Structure formats: C-alpha cells, structure tokens
Amino acid sequence: MIRRLRAAAVQVLCLVAVLVVGTAVPAAAHNVTVGADLRIAQTIAGAEVTVVIKGTPRVPGPLRIGVIAYQPVTALPVGLEVRSVEDGRTATATARAAARDPQYAELRVNRTGPHELKLSAGNEVAVIPFRVLVDRGSAGDFLIYGGLFVAAMLLVGGLLTGALARRGTAMLLAAGAAAGVTVAVMVIVFEPWMPPPVPDGAAPEASSEPLSGAGSEAGSRVVTGGRPYVQTRVATVPARPAAGEEFTLRIDLVDGSTGRPVDDLTVHHEALAHVVVTSEDGRYFRHLHPLRTAPGRLEVRLRADRPGRYLTHAELERENSGGQLATATVTIGGEAPLSDPPSSNRSATDPATTDPATTDSAATDPTETGAGGVGAVPRLRPDVPVAGRPATIELDAPAGVRPWLGMAGHLLIRSQDGTFFGHVHEMGAPGSRLRFTFSFPQAGRYLAWAQYATGEGVVTVPFAVDVTASEATR
Ligand SMILES: [Cu+2]
C-alpha cells in the first residue's frame, strides 16, 4: 500500500518536472552550443569569408573562432573581440583567414548568455550577436541517477535494519527503494517524449529574446502568429556613387508596427542576409553577405564599373517570422570607362555568350570568376524549359568542390526585367556534377548564375535560359 502511494506521488512529481521543463524552450538562432558550430558568411575587406564559432563545452573556457576564406587570400588578418553583453568582459584575438584549415583563435568566455563578436578587417567592422549555451544535463538524467541513488541508499538501509530485526522499518525502506527504481525506470521509458533540456545561457523565452538593445522592444511584445515582415530601406553612401568608385550599400531594417530597427535576423544558409546585386543587363553580378554595422543595419562595400541602374535582391529571415525577399534599385552615376564596349554589343546583354573573364570582376571581388568554371556550359533538360514545369540544369564542376553556405552549389536566377528572382540549391549527390531542378514561372528570358566553391575560391558561371510557354497557354 505504502509502495503504491509513494509510486503515485513520484509519478506526480515526474509530471510536474516535465511540465516545468516544457514551458521554456531555447531560441534556436545565433546559438553557440555544445557540438554545434555557428557559421556566418561575411563579405569583409573585399573578401568572402565564413566565420566559424565552435561550440564550447564549458564556461569559463575557451571559445574557438576561425575564418574560412572563399578566395585566395594571403592570411588576411581578422580582428576578433568577444564581449559578454551581461558583464561587459571582453577577450580579443586575431584570426588569419585561410582557404583550407584555418587556424582557430581561442578566446576565453567566462559565462553563458548573450555575447557579441566584433570582427574587424581592413577598415571594416561587423558586430555579430550570439549566445553561448552550455548543456547542464537534463531533468531526466537528474531523476534517473537521483532515483537509482536513493534506491541504493534505501536498500542498504533496509538490509541493515532487516539484519537488526526491525521488520517494519526495513519494509518501509525497501518500499522507498522500489519507488526510487520506479522513478528511474519511468524516466528512462518516457525520456524520448520529454522536451530537450534548457542549456545554460538560453534566452528566458523564445519569443522575447532581444538580440541587442535596439530591437528588444519590438521583440519583447507577445506576438501571436509570428513577427511582422521587415520593412527594408536600401540606400547607397554616397547617395549617388560614381562608376569605378567604392560605395556602401546600406540596408536598414525596420519593424513597420513599431518603427524601430529590426535586429532579430536569424542565420539562414549561413548568413544574416544574402544580397545579390546585378546590373540590368546582367553583366555585373555580386553575391554578398553584408555586415551588421549597427542594430538593424546591414552594410556591404562594393564597386561598379559602369553607370546605370542596378538591382539589389536581399534574402533575409526574421526570427519567428519567415523568409522574405527585399528588392530595390540603385543608380550608379559617372561615366563608363573608355575600355568598356558599347552597350549595343549583343553579347553584353547575354550571359550565355559573355566570356566570364570579361565580366567586370575586380581582382578583390568576392565572386570573382575563377578558373575551373570558365567555359563550363550548363546542360538544360529539356533544352528549352517549359514554364511551370521542372527543368534540370547540370554543370560539371572540378574535383574538390567544397561546401559553401551549407551546400555544394547555388543557382541564382533573375528574369530579364528583374521582377523575378529565385535562389536554387544543388540537389544531386556529392560528386563532380552539380544538379539543380527549377520550374521557371513564366515564359521569357532568364539570366542565371551558378556558383560553387573550390579551394581557389567561389566560381561563378553566368548563362541565360530561354523559357517557352506551356502548350496549354500558347
Ligand atoms: Cu548568400
């Protein structure tokens, strides 16, 4: 009887523990946790790099940070500063960006919770908010080991008192031991259905995690059905850049319902935002990963060699909202360089016949067209894709393609007029062939750029696709 009562009480306790643990769920974004690296692509100092923050098993302890380069760089120094938002303590180090096996710098972190990583290279600075999380063991483990420990102690007690011929006490202790075992067994059985434990340093509540001060007000409101999409303002600094001059492309993110900066972007495909800048004719193409220079502000430096209208497509994802595409145009003034071929040149409007070597990629450009992809003409199946039906695009890639932004290949597609923009990921098995599947939405001409990374850097293969209307709509 006593045994049953105890078991029932323990079951109730178990249930309470499950409920308590179940109410708090750690936010998934920007977390550096045991066994999981945080990877963030950045276009900094004219270089395309991916910053890797390794998970740390304990605090105080070392946080390992490395910078992988996706273009030939000669040990580009990247200044690192990790600061705890809670106590303001900082640690600094310098990483050397390298294409293969970058050296990891070790920075000491003293606590879990919100931190900021300040990156500096050249004369550019980015600040990446993140959280250090450390596993503290699950409530289930505690109950299993606690239950077994109690059972063992009570059994020993029961045996001793039994030996001293105190039957009543011995029975009571044996009942307690049985209850302990029951708890342990129950937790072992039901653990798969229990919520994962909350690590040390997690945000108190998923929906109220402010990544930094400015966005906290918008973030701390209780939002049902997700946060609103970001309002974006795209501008250049200076306001009217001249051809051939470096300028800053600035994207300000605002919460339309509060008017405050949005600072809760989640890392998707290894970046806070993916920005593609193309000239109207498609001869100019850049795929960039802007720096967070202030709360709600992303910036990237670039240069365009010819005047005209340029299209910017930014893919971003706000926490608890969803992925979105922000489109804008910027105008480059000034005069075309003398060596520039006239724009009536037919090949200029056709990425398929444009020699990639002549696309205006400066030597320092992150998306510089390298060797290997040059001349590799993608194969289309069918030859002329039909609108609304899947088409396959295959590309031979050299051996040694390495993952970039989380996968082997990327295909960026723009309709000729720029109203449509798509981002397709490589679907095939690992190997020397990249395969993309895509259904073009409408008939017409599309400009496309396939991208993959080798040990040398990111290779961009431009081409054009003419899509026909389906039989039904013709
Ligand atoms: Cu990207």
Residue 272 CA to ligand 1 centre (angstroms) = 9
Tell me what the mean pLDDT of segment 45-51 comes to.
91
Are 443 and 387 in contact by the 8 Å Cβ rule? The answer is yes
Residue 14 CA to ligand 1 centre (angstroms) = 46
Residue 405 CA to ligand 1 centre (angstroms) = 7
Residue 315 CA to ligand 1 centre (angstroms) = 8
Q: What residues have their beta carbon closer than 5 A to ion ligand 1? A: 274
Residue 416 CA to ligand 1 centre (angstroms) = 21
User: What is the share, in percent, of the chain residues with pLDDT greater than 90?
Assistant: 40
Tell me how far apart the alpha carbons of residues 261 and 297 are, in angstroms, rounded to a whole number: 8
Residue 242 CA to ligand 1 centre (angstroms) = 25
Of residues 38 and 372, more confidence is placed in 38
pLDDT at 300 over 60: yes
- pLDDT reported for residue 363: 30
User: Could you tell me which residues are beta bridge partners of residue 93?
Assistant: 80
Q: What tokens were used for 47? A: 């270089």
pLDDT digits (tens, 9 = 90+) for 220-270: 444 556 788 888 999 999 999 999 999 999 999 999 888 899 988 888 889
Q: Which long-range contacts (CB under 8 A, 24 or more apart) does 12-16 make?
A: 13/183, 14/143, 14/183, 14/186, 14/187, 14/190
Q: What tokens were used for 151? A: 């059972």
Are 212 and 116 in contact by the 8 Å Cβ rule? The answer is yes
Of residues 113 and 399, more confidence is placed in 113
Give the pLDDT band (50/70/90) at residue 358.
Answer: very low
pLDDT at 21 over 90: no
pTM of the model: 0.73
CA dihedral of 375, 376, 381, 385, whole degrees rounded to 10: -50
pLDDT digits (tens, 9 = 90+) for 203-229: 765 444 444 333 333 344 445 567 888
Handedness of CA 259, 264, 269, 271 (dihedral sign): positive
- pLDDT reported for residue 338: 67
pLDDT digits (tens, 9 = 90+) for 119-172: 999 899 999 999 888 877 656 666 667 777 777 777 777 777 777 777 778 778
Residue 182 CA to ligand 1 centre (angstroms) = 52
Question: In the chain, how long is the greatest CA-to-CA distance?
Answer: 107
